[in-house]
């Protein structure tokens, strides 16, 4: 596995985090507009942790990539705009600007912008059928979270 990506994932902020929304209704990230990003709800992370604990024979010593949905930044802001009824916009932060603050995060963005986020959502849904898409997460949790921002 590509080393810097694991470190960046540990530092990833929630979708409704102020680190990603630097100005009201503006999604700011170093990912190119057409690059798919993996998204996952906190509840789904917990569900996979429970699965791994309950089925140690299947998960012991394995690393699995988890996501509930894969969307581009422009798809993310479109979904949030539709769910909240407010116009959100996407602004790409230049990776070189990120690099000045965090070379590790910039390295992860270089990788993501080159490769995207390949993941087998169908296989994950077989393991956890209630896995939330972005739209389901927005309906259950996200819309209310954005209403307070």
Confidence (pLDDT) at 117: 85
Instruction: Please tell me the total count of domains within the chain.
Output: 1
pLDDT digits (tens, 9 = 90+) for 18-53: 345 556 788 889 999 999 999 999 999 999 999 999
Longest dimension (CA), the chain: 47
Closest by CA to 9, choosing from 52, 44, 39, is: 39
Confidence (pLDDT) at 20: 53
Q: For residue 64, what are the domain limits?
A: 3-140
Of the two residues 84 and 4, the one the predictor is more confident about is 84
pLDDT digits (tens, 9 = 90+) for 55-95: 999 888 888 889 999 999 999 999 999 999 999 999 999 99
Q: Is residue 18 part of a domain?
A: yes
Confidence (pLDDT) at 7: 35
pLDDT digits (tens, 9 = 90+) for 84-143: 999 999 999 999 999 999 999 999 999 999 998 889 999 999 999 999 999 999 999 888
Q: Is residue 148 part of a domain?
A: no
Confidence (pLDDT) at 98: 92
Record the tokens describing residue 43, joined without a space.
């509840």
20 Cβ contact list (under 8 Å, min separation 6): 13, 27, 28, 29
CATH of the domain at 52: 3.40.50.720
């Amino acid at each position: 596995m590509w080393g810097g990506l694991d470190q960046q994932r540990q530092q990833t902020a929630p979708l409704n985090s102020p680190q990603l929304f630097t100005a009201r209704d503006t999604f700011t990230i170093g990912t190119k507009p057409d690059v798919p990003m993996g998204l996952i709800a906190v509840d789904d992370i917990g569900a996979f942790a429970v699965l791994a604990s309950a089925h140690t024979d299947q998960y012991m010593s394995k690393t699995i990539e988890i996501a509930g949905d894969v969307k581009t930044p422009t798809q993310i802001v479109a979904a949030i705009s539709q769910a909240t009824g407010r116009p959100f916009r996407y602004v790409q932060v230049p990776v070189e600007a990120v690099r000045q603050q965090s070379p590790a995060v910039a390295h992860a963005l270089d990788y993501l912008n080159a490769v995207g986020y390949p993941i087998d959502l169908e296989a994950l849904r077989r393991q956890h059928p209630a896995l939330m898409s972005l739209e389901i997460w927005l309906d259950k949790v996200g819309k209310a979270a954005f209403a307070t921002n």
